[in-house]
Amino acid sequence: MKNSIKQILLFVFIFFISCSSPIKEKSDFNFFSEQFADLKILRYQVPGFDELNLDQKKLVYYLSQAGLSGRDIMYDQNYRHNISIRNTMEKIYTDYNGDKSSDDWKKFETYLKRIWFSNGIHHHYSNDKFEPGFSIAFLEKLLNESNVELNKEAFEVIFNDEDSKKVNLDASKGLIKGSAVNFYGPDLTTEDVDFYYSEIKKVPNPKKPISLGLNSKLIKENGKLVEKVWKLGGMYNKEIKNIIYWLSKASEVAENEKQKEGFELLIKYYETGDLSIWDQYNVAWVETVKGDVDYINGFIEVYNDPKGYRGSYESVVQIKDFEMSKKMDALSENAQWFEDNSPIMEKHKKNNVVGISYNTVNVASEAGDASPSTPIGINLPNANWIRVEHGSKSISLGNILYAYGNAGSSGRLNEFAFSQKEIDLEIKHGENAGSLHTALHEVIGHASGKINEGVGTTKETLKSYASALEEARADLVGLYYIPDNKLEEIGISPSAEEMGIASYDGYIRNGLITQLIRIKLGDDIEESHMRNRQLISLWAYEQGLKDNIIEKVKKNNKTFYVINDYKKLRELFGVLLKEIQRIKSEGDFEAGKNLIENYGVKVDQELHKEVLERNSKFTSAPYSGFINPELVLVKDEDGNVIDVKIQQPISFAFQMLSYSEKY
């Protein structure tokens, strides 16, 4: 589960973050690379890499190669025509010898860069298909003069209204039929998917259910529904063969036997596609707590599946940041206290919160669903029974947060914050409050609560609303505890009161106002994390009207939401947390649906128009992503690897083209 912009990059980090950080690097490093459309490309450093020994550096390199080897899987998962469109556009980009100064060419170049950023032709956040900006005639001209072909259906879909939404969560349009994501055959319906999984009468161990559908595509073959598994010899055979090769190399330089066991199980899973082996791997992975290098690799997050079964491919390779991680150990060590003092029902609390580990890490490489748009925090594994019995790992991506904080300010804080006091507190505590909320969200939030005996998994009970409700639950845990004096007591908050105020101001401001700059006027909210934030903020506003807890204020013809009673707002957050935990624990679909549909989907159109107008004066793009540093092997005269060096690529386009050539 991710706290990501994709997957939920907290809005505050992009626009409002201050520049203080524990990471010490050269002050002349240029974090900003370029900007186009609504996207900003940044760079990040990898503190601590040079302190690793040679085998550890090799390990990082091999894991990065394993991750990048699956890059094209993400393109194909996102949409069936993505790879052919991308390859054609790249061929034009490199081979076309005509005028490259025209407006049409610049629009073509932007279109290609947007494809690279989003791993396909649909926006990484809104899920809407890109409008090309150039004409059919211009693309035909480029194809002819570059001597490149593009199949008729792929050509037409660039310009028509077909497959306009990658992930559609509006049930009236058909969750499957209305979604372009390539997890299902184009002739399948929601009813087909429901029927297929209803026919699976049992799993090997109902108390330890496997993640059905996680690594397969469901299609109709000779009139029957069948799963095409992503494994060696199955779908994505070429990519998975290369992933296995590099994981085998990584296994040779594993830091310890437990880590090596994890590599061997992951390889076996890729070879067989057996989901029970995936669970065995996750147990070994979560129990691997020693070592300086860790990684995420596989088909993991299900946000891109409107039915919540299929996992998007992703890879993150990271190095432990020891200094910051020590400061967060106190949070993990007190996990049971947070569970015991939660406002949720006693019967929904865990009696023994086990194995939560939280580390701040520095990313060395990302691929698939994690790149170029990256999470800032991750909590895995997702299987609830593993989390209950074996625990979970939570990480905060420290160097990514630092890069956001040093990529330049947008000035939006002054526009959308109501008062100078609000601005001052954001500057003083914004970064720390955001980091702490992320930690509480991942470590305590996702690990808290339990599902009642006999109630199915949330994807079965809460269906398309499961992701938004789970993120709301984790956010509410963070919001409930961030003003608690316990955080001062254990030494991870400088001021519970001020951190709470800054966090509440920023959350309500974002949930009701600033996140609206991410969607088009007239659109509903589709993305699960945006739904979660509006749900919490709007519900709290409406529930607090009687006591004027949050007040809607007009100043200079501009709308603001001002918190008048932070203590009562915390109580409201506790009430909503209790209800959403009940919904999850009991599998109450109707109650979950009502919360999302009534508070998380519809947008105040008058307010939305105002927000877009207020935002129009800012040139800084609302979304950010990253170029990966390049890991380069250094060899002696005999071809032996004697070191691994990090260098920054020339440009975003250079890296994307080199990735397409290599992987």
pLDDT above 50 for 600: yes
Residues 389 and 490 in one domain: yes
Kindly state the average pLDDT of the residues 364-392.
94
Domain extent, residue 197, equals 171-229
3-state SS record for 125-147: CCCEECCCCCCHHHHHHHHHHHC
Average pLDDT, the chain: 92
Kindly state the average pLDDT of the residues 51-57.
97
CB atoms within 10 A of CB 295: 25
Q: How many helices (H) and strands (E) does the chain have?
A: 26, 15
Type of residue found at 282: N
Percentage of residues in the chain having pLDDT higher than 70: 95
Residues 484 and 577 in one domain: yes
Residues 395 and 412 in one domain: yes
Q: What pLDDT is attached to residue 435?
A: 82
pLDDT above 70 for 21: no
Q: Is residue 297 part of a domain?
A: yes
Q: Is residue 211 part of a domain?
A: yes
Angle at 248 between CA 245 and CA 250, to 5 degrees: 115
pLDDT above 70 for 209: yes
Q: Is residue 645 part of a domain?
A: no
Q: What pLDDT is attached to residue 547?
A: 97
Sort strands 293-299 and 313-320 into parallel, antiparallel or unpaired: antiparallel
Note if the bond before 381 is cis, omega within 30 degrees: yes
Q: Which of 436, 421, 430 is nearest to 16 (CA)?
A: 430
Query: 184, 202, 229 — which closes off a domain?
Result: 229
Q: Is residue 658 part of a domain?
A: no
Instruction: Name the least confident of 12-16, 142-146, 522-526, 561-565.
Output: 12-16
Cα–Cα distance, 622 to 511 (Å, whole number): 15
pTM over 0.75: yes
Residues 425 and 387 in one domain: yes
Residues 523 and 599 in one domain: yes
Q: Which residues fall within 8 angstroms of residue 607, CB to CB, at 6 or more apart?
A: 513, 516, 559
pLDDT digit string, tens, across residues 75-117: 999 999 999 999 999 999 999 999 999 999 999 999 999 999 9
| β-pair partners for 632 | 645
Instruction: Name the least confident of 2-6, 324-328, 583-587.
Output: 2-6
pLDDT above 80 for 14: no
Residues 134 and 239 in one domain: no
pLDDT above 80 for 521: yes
Task: Return the SS3 of 575.
Answer: helix
Q: Specify the residue for token string 């598994």.
A: 229
Residues 142 and 196 in one domain: no
Query: 592, 608, 624 — which closes off a domain?
Result: 624
Q: Which H or E element spans position 460?
A: helix 458-461
Q: What pLDDT is attached to residue 26?
A: 42
pLDDT above 70 for 245: yes
Dihedral sign (CA 476, 478, 483, 489): positive
Q: Is residue 662 part of a domain?
A: no
pLDDT above 70 for 170: yes
pLDDT above 50 for 24: no
Q: What pLDDT is attached to residue 365?
A: 98
pLDDT above 50 for 13: no
* CB of 306 closer than 8 Å to CB of 175: yes
Query: 229, 249, 277 — which closes off a domain?
Result: 229
Residues 199 and 260 in one domain: no
Q: Which residues fall within 8 angstroms of residue 293, CB to CB, at 6 or more apart?
A: 52, 56, 59, 60, 63, 255, 317, 318, 319, 320
Q: Specify the residue for token string 């907290």.
A: 10
pLDDT digit string, tens, across residues 297-306: 999 999 999 9
Kindly state the average pLDDT of the residues 12-20.
34
Give DSSP secondary structure letters for 197-216: HHS----S-TTS---TTTTE
Residues 195 and 329 in one domain: no
Q: Does residue 314 come out as left (phi exceeding 0), alpha (psi in the -120 to 50 range) or beta?
A: beta
Note if the bond before 372 is cis, omega within 30 degrees: yes
Q: Is residue 657 part of a domain?
A: no
pLDDT above 80 for 20: no
pLDDT above 80 for 17: no
Q: Is residue 647 part of a domain?
A: no
* CB of 213 closer than 8 Å to CB of 310: yes
Q: Is residue 299 part of a domain?
A: yes
Residues 467 and 381 in one domain: yes
> Count of domains in the chain?
3
Kindly state the average pLDDT of the residues 615-632.
93
pLDDT digit string, tens, across residues 179-195: 999 999 999 999 999 99
Q: What pLDDT is attached to residue 315?
A: 98
Residues 293 and 312 in one domain: yes
Kindly state the average pLDDT of the residues 243-272.
98
pLDDT above 80 for 326: no
Residues 466 and 589 in one domain: yes
Give the pLDDT band of residue 620 (cuts 50, 70, 90).
Answer: confident
pLDDT above 60 for 11: no
How is residue 510 written in tokens? 């974002």
